[in-house]
Amino acid sequence: MGSRMARRLLAAGYSVTGFNRTKEKAQWLLAAGMKWADSPRAVAQSSDIIFSMIANNSALHAVTEGNDGILAGLSREKTYVEMSTVSPAAIRELAKQVEIKGAEMLDAPVSGSSITLDEGKLSFMVGGKREIFEKVLPYLQAIGPKATYVGDHGLAAAMKVATNLSLAVQMLAFSEGLLLAEKSGIARETAVEVLLNSVVASPMVKYRGPFVLNMPDEAIFNVNMMQKDLLLALEMGRQLDVPLPTTAITNEMLTTTRAMGLAEKDFAILFEALGRMAGMKNV
């Protein structure tokens, strides 16, 4: 996701300096005009607006802290935009550290995938100061057309977790309906077609539902990443006294999927895990 975002900023005419732990993976961006920095700190020092997109809380600490971290390169007049799906508490703590450096911060996680990003349909939810949101808005819209301000630091992260829990829950419900139809004697392809043209066909179901017929070799969003988000949701639910029964059940199904050795597959592989449990031989 981060590399594709950098490509869209380059295509919009912005000067982009980037860092990735594995430089070879960034070669195509360097060929497209991106400048290379040797550390997150160097990126922050050379840029007015700094974006990060990483996997989880521990990765966020790795790119922000220490002598080579983003925080070490921040100063007044700089703005740091953190776009990952991490805990609201981690975002609020990071925002305090950014403020100490005299810089500004937004948390701006995204709704969508590499598919929606490439189609120019990605959307942002953004937390922080509204005036900083307005300042950064043109850069966000170069990546995706829709950005919604949701409030103070950490609230965008909370909104993202609240959004993402539905993705896996929907995929599990879709799989249940599909397997029920197939075991009744309806061809899988036919059942998929019916479901994708029914009222249950959310945008996520429309682009991920066909994966049950042809699972991509490279996961768009794998089981481990999806379960990370559900665990964030369950922890928020515990803290806020919000029961999340379908999230809890779906989380257990993701654990089942991991136990079957399918952790690196796209989380649409929930269909296969449930199919095995249903005794299906051709999932």
Cβ partners under 8 Å of residue 223, min gap 6: 254, 257, 258, 262, 263, 264, 265, 266, 267, 269
Pairing of strands 49-52, 35-36: unpaired
Kindly write down the DSSP assignment for every residue of 81-121, as one continuous string.
EE-S---HHHHHHHHHHHHHTT-EEEE--EES-HHHHHTT-
The yes-or-no answer on residue 160 being catalytic is: yes
Catalytic: which of 78, 160, 228, 265? 160
CA nearest neighbour of 127 among 115, 142, 109, 145: 109
Cβ partners under 8 Å of residue 99, min gap 6: 105
SS3 call for 52? strand
Q: Provide the 8-state DSSP code for 149.
A: E
SS3 call for 35? strand
Residue 13, both tokens:
């005419």
Which positions are annotated as active-site residues? Answer: 160
